[in-house]
Amino acid sequence: MKKLIIPFCFLLLSGCVDNTTIINNCFLNVYISGTINLNNPQFLNLQVPLGYASATIDGRDLLIIKSTSSYKAYDLECPEADCSDKMTFDGLKLICPCSKKEYNSLNGSPIDGEGCFALEYNVMQTNNSTLQITR
C-alpha cells in the first residue's frame, strides 16, 4: 500500500499542471456575470458569423464577437495601466487609443507579442437566444 501512495501523489500533482492557461495579471479581481438576449435589437448582429456588438455587464463595457460556431467576449478596458480610454474595434482587431497597441480578436493577444492580453470573458450559449457571460 505504501508503494502506491508515492506514485499516486506524483501523478495527482503532475496532472494538475495546465501549460495552456493564460494568466492575465493586468486584470485582477474582475468578475462579472450576465446574460445577453440575442433577440434584443441591439444584439441582432450577433446572429450572423463575424457579427459583433457591445454591451455593459456589471459596469464593464464588453465587445461580443460571433465566429462561425462560437462567441468571444472581451473587456474594452485597455490592458495598459496608464490608459483610461476604451478600446475600439475595427472589425478585425481591438485597438487601445492611447498607444495604438493592437490586440487579436481571435484570442486577445497583443499583435506585437508584448504585454498583457485583452481581458477575455467566458461565453456560453444556453439556448438559441441567450448567452451567459462570466468571469
Q: Is residue 121 part of a domain?
A: yes
Q: With DSSP H G I counted as helix, E B as strand and the rest as coil, what are the percentages for the chain, rounded to 5?
A: 15, 35, 50
Q: Is residue 20 part of a domain?
A: no
CATH number, position 51: 2.102.10.10
Q: Is residue 3 part of a domain?
A: no
Its pTM stands at: 0.79
Q: Is residue 95 part of a domain?
A: yes
> For 81-119, how does the pLDDT look when each residue is reduced to its tens digit (9 = 90+)?
888 899 999 999 999 999 999 999 999 999 999 989 999
Q: Is residue 47 part of a domain?
A: yes
How are beta strands 88-89 and 102-104 bridged, if at all? unpaired
Question: How many domains does the chain divide into?
Answer: 1
Q: Which of 55, 61, 72 is nearest to 124 (CA)?
A: 72
For 88, the domain range is 37-134
